[in-house]
Structure 1
């Protein structure tokens, strides 16, 4: 089936789950999750896969609580990741607040961070990334990713791209609030538009950083 949007029940389901993250709530509303959340996300992911030439991974709704202080059993969003190379790709999720879109590189292994900072440090590739990030911010996307608090070891305090050098991973994202627009086909267009704007960032990472490699 073609993706037709996320019904209002999807957002109401997550509002309820945030208020009562319990097996009792989940069991009573699992049909809503299956029909109004999981199924539309699978349809959306199937259509988006052709845009980025990457197979989607739909995340499981259960949290891994083995080492977590928060023992609530269920995730309060349904996400899908489209990996174009290890640790690099596009992301989308739906939650009580609406639809979240993002892209970039998500792992922060030592070797990947080293390659990233070398590319940021170089005048040509660093300036290219700076321009990409500036354009994304101008279009309302939020620049994120894990960063060190001060500056990387060996990086001069007057480095022209110090803020970018601080990153150990780099993403850009946008949140679209819940409402009638997300309940129809227009929500596909919102993701497609964001991902097209995010493509230069992903392309830059593919070319200059490369995949995550297990250490």
Structure 2
């Protein structure tokens, strides 16, 4: 079926899961998750197929290395990546919809290319301008992490040290729970968000590109 929006029950499901993150709740309400969350998210990612293919993240947490985590995630995420390297992310939770695009976590080879391009005046000043334009357009700028000081071999007094310290570069918008989230208009709003992030994504694809490291050596 075609995507028609996320029903209000999707938000209600995550509100209730946040209050009772237990296996008993999940097994009792698994049908609600499938009907209100997984099915429309699947339909949405199919409609946005040119940004994928998408990987939908599993709803349960990996508890093998952390016994303090709740058994189930309180959001549903989906991630697609184009050949150029840019990633496109969707997340639905009790807080509503979040949409992001860019390079959230760079591999070591990507970080070298990214930092060298930021240091170079022509490419670095271009990115600085593009990021400033994105901030003016109400995007949040994030990454998996950033260093507290300059990475080895880079000048800590560099005028673009704030970008150099980053371990990724992703633009995002959090929309909350507007009325259009429950309609097919959500697809267009997501496309508009990703289109607005395209100048930064294009810069990253041109000067960083995909990682060539083995998957086990990448930070995700």
TM-score, structure 1 normalization: 0.93
Give the match's secondary structure for 2:106.
coil
After TM superposition, list the pairs within 5 Å mapping 1:130-169 onto structure 2.
130-145=128-143, 146-169=145-168
Give the match's secondary structure for 2:55.
strand
Q: Is 1:172 the counterpart of 2:171 in the alignment?
A: yes
Alpha-carbon distance between aligned partners in 1 of 2:194 and 2:178, rounded to the nearest angstrom: 21
Distance change >3 Å, CA 18–CA 63, structure 1 → 2: same
Per mean C-alpha deviation after superposition, the further-off stretch among 104-113 and 71-80 is 104-113
Alpha-carbon distance between aligned partners in 2 of 1:168 and 1:4, rounded to the nearest angstrom: 36
Is the 2:98–2:172 Cα contact (8 Å) retained in structure 1? yes
Is the 2:104–2:142 Cα contact (8 Å) retained in structure 1? no
1:128 counterpart residue number: 126
Is the 2:180–2:186 Cα contact (8 Å) retained in structure 1? yes
1:96 counterpart residue number: 94
Is the 1:103–1:172 Cα contact (8 Å) retained in structure 2? yes
Distance change >3 Å, CA 32–CA 86, structure 1 → 2: farther
TM-score, structure 2 normalization: 0.91
1:35 counterpart residue number: 35
**Cα RMSD (Å):** 1.5
1:199 counterpart residue number: 198
Q: Is 1:84 the counterpart of 2:82 in the alignment?
A: yes
The number of residue pairs the alignment matches comes to 213
Is the 2:84–2:205 Cα contact (8 Å) retained in structure 1? no
Is the 2:85–2:205 Cα contact (8 Å) retained in structure 1? no
Consecutive unaligned residues in structure 2, runs of 5 or more: none
Alpha-carbon distance between aligned partners in 2 of 1:20 and 1:179, rounded to the nearest angstrom: 25
Q: What is the deviation of 1:70?
A: 2.5
Per mean C-alpha deviation after superposition, the further-off stretch among 2-11 and 61-70 is 61-70
Alpha-carbon distance between aligned partners in 1 of 2:39 and 2:152, rounded to the nearest angstrom: 47
1:115 counterpart residue number: 113
1:12 counterpart residue number: 12
Q: Which runs of 4+ in 1 moved over 3 A?
A: 85-88
Is the 1:87–1:107 Cα contact (8 Å) retained in structure 2? no
